[in-house]
Structure 1
Amino acid sequence: MNVPTRAIRLKRSQVPDGEILCDHCTAKCCHYFALPIDEPTTRKDFDYIRWYLLHERATVFVEDTSWYLLVHTTCKHLRDDHRCGIYETRPQICRDYTTDECEFDDDWCYDQYFETAEQIDEYADGLYGPQFADPNQVDRQTLRRRRSVGLPVVG
């Protein structure tokens, strides 16, 4: 049985001399983008991060004390063979990117990783204490309730 090269997970050191690293990759670098964000220092900052996390395919991570917004989305020019469909006219950021330190065999482990608004709320509560004693109390600064209030039971 002939298994496609990309189906076998190699380490960087196992890629044969003379072969291109990208030939053994599923184009991890083309399935997301991450932008640095300011480290949150106030409740309001954490509320902005909460807003990011309310959007589909958005997460936030911390690596070496730097905070990042991570958007899980695939480049619209990535072809089925995991190659760039606009390679000759690709953006400069793609031209500057090299395989020297790419995430080819990265295990995607971050110092901190937030996927939901509830996770960032809990983290902020750990730093500052609970924002509201009463979950129905409205924060006058953000005009939102701390937690969703259930619908009344009609009997």
Structure 2
Amino acid sequence: MSVISPPTKRRRSDYPKGENLCEHCTAKCCHYFALAIDEPVERRDFDFMRWYLLHDRASLFVDDETWYLLVHTTCKHLRDDYMCGIYETRPQICRDYTTAECEFEDDWCYEKYFESPEQIDEYADALFGPQFPEPGRKKEHLLRSRKPSGLPIA
């Protein structure tokens, strides 16, 4: 009985210097965009971030102390062969992008990464204390109402 070993992950060093890594990639860089956003400094800022995360295919990350909104979406000009369908007229941001530090090897590790509104709430609670006060305390400072309870089963 022969054992099939999993495919070896390709590294940059597996290719000759000067090789176009794009020809060996699934165009990871064309499946998202990330926008730098202001660093949150108060509870209200985290509520805006919570709103971002309520949208499909959005996440947040921190890299080198800069906060980013990451939108997981595919460029409409990416061809089935993972090459650019408008290469000659591509936007300047694409022209400036190089494979020098791209995610070819998939080794990204962020300082902070948030995929759900609950995660950003938990992080804000750790920084500022719980969003909802103890029973009997005032709640004028709250940004949103409590999480709704489940519907009764009929």
Q: Identify the TM-score tier after normalising by the shorter chain.
A: 0.7 to 0.9
The one-letter amino acid paired with 2:70 is L
Cα distance, 1:129–1:77 mapped onto 2, change above 3 Å: same
Task: State the SS of the aligned residue for 2:147.
Answer: coil
Q: Is the 8 A contact 2:59 2:70 kept in 1?
A: yes
Give the C-alpha shift of residue 19 in structure 1.
3.2
Cα distance, 1:88–1:95 mapped onto 2, change above 3 Å: same
CA displacement 1:33-66 (0-9 Å, x = unmatched): 0000111010100000000000000000011211
Give 1:53-132 correspondences, 5 Å limit.
53-132=53-132
Give the C-alpha shift of residue 153 in structure 1.
5.6
Give the C-alpha shift of residue 138 in structure 1.
10
Alpha-carbon distance between aligned partners in 2 of 1:126 and 1:87, rounded to the nearest angstrom = 46
Unpaired runs of 5+ residues, structure 1, are 1-6
The one-letter amino acid paired with 1:124 is A
TM-score by length of 1: 0.85
Give the C-alpha shift of residue 146 in structure 1.
3.0
Task: State the SS of the aligned residue for 1:103.
Answer: coil
TM-score by length of 2: 0.85
Alpha-carbon distance between aligned partners in 1 of 2:25 and 2:62, rounded to the nearest angstrom = 25
Unpaired runs of 5+ residues, structure 2, are 1-6
CA displacement 1:2-39 (0-9 Å, x = unmatched): xxxxx863101111345321111110100000000111
CA displacement 1:101-136 (0-9 Å, x = unmatched): 21111322111100000110010000111011369x
Percent sequence identity over aligned pairs: 69
What's the C-alpha RMSD, in Å, of the aligned pairs? Answer: 2.4
Identify the residue that residue 3 of structure 1 maps to in structure 2.
Answer: none
Task: State the SS of the aligned residue for 2:40.
Answer: coil
Q: Is the 8 A contact 1:139 1:146 kept in 2?
A: no
Task: State the SS of the aligned residue for 1:70.
Answer: strand
The 10-residue stretch of structure 1 (53-62 or 101-110) with the greater mean CA deviation from structure 2: 101-110
The one-letter amino acid paired with 2:73 is T
The 10-residue stretch of structure 1 (8-17 or 99-108) with the greater mean CA deviation from structure 2: 8-17
Q: Is the 8 A contact 2:131 2:142 kept in 1?
A: no
Identify the residue that residue 46 of structure 1 maps to in structure 2.
Answer: 46
Task: State the SS of the aligned residue for 1:144.
Answer: coil
Give the C-alpha shift of residue 145 in structure 1.
1.4
